[in-house]
Amino acid sequence: MSKRSVDAVFQGLYLLTDIRGMLRDTVPYHQLSVEQKKEAEKILGKLEKQIAILKEELLA
């Protein structure tokens, strides 16, 4: 059992859900404010980390 990979899947899904929430908040044109862009950048950075963990756990 790789608890680390399961955690990474959920963490990744939650981060994507935060992006989904941002898309919902900014309909219909999804023009993000400066703060929202910073937040999106932060979320995407965290998401990349989770994907790296998954690669490490599942593909190594």
Partner 1 sequence: MNCGEGIDTRQIDELFINLDPIQAGGRLTTDAMKAVLAYGDGYSVCDHCTKPFRLDHISKPPLAEFHRDLASFLNMDVARLVPGARRGFQAVASALVKPGDPVLLTAYSHYTEFLSVEQSRGMAFEIPADDSHIITPDGAAARIEEVIKTTGKTPALMFIEQVDYQYGNQHPVSDLIKVAHQYDIPVLCNGAYTIGIMDVNGKELGADFLVGSGHKSMAAPAPSGVLATTSEWAETVFRTTGIKGDLTGRTFGVKEVEMMGCTLMGVTSVGMMASFPHVKRRVKEFDAQVQYVNRIVDALLTIEGTKVQSEYPRKHTLTRMNTTDSFDTVARTHKKKGFFLTSALRERGISGILAGSTRVWKFNSYGITSEQADYIAESFIEIAEKEGLACSR
Question: In the window 10-39, what residues touch partner 1 (CB under 8 A)?
Answer: 10, 13-14, 17-18, 20-21, 23-25, 27-29
Size of the site for partner 1 (CB under 8 A): 13
User: What is the token pair recorded at 56?
Assistant: 């490490």
- Closest to 22 measured CA to CA, from 5, 40, 9, 46: 40
Cβ nearer to partner 1, comparing 24 with 59: 24
Instruction: Supply the angle between the helices 3-25 and 34-59 in degrees, to the nearest 10.
Output: 160
Q: Minimum distance from CB of 52 to partner 1 (Å)?
A: 21
Q: How far apart are CA 60 and CA 50, in angstroms?
A: 15
Q: Minimum distance from CB of 34 to partner 1 (Å)?
A: 15
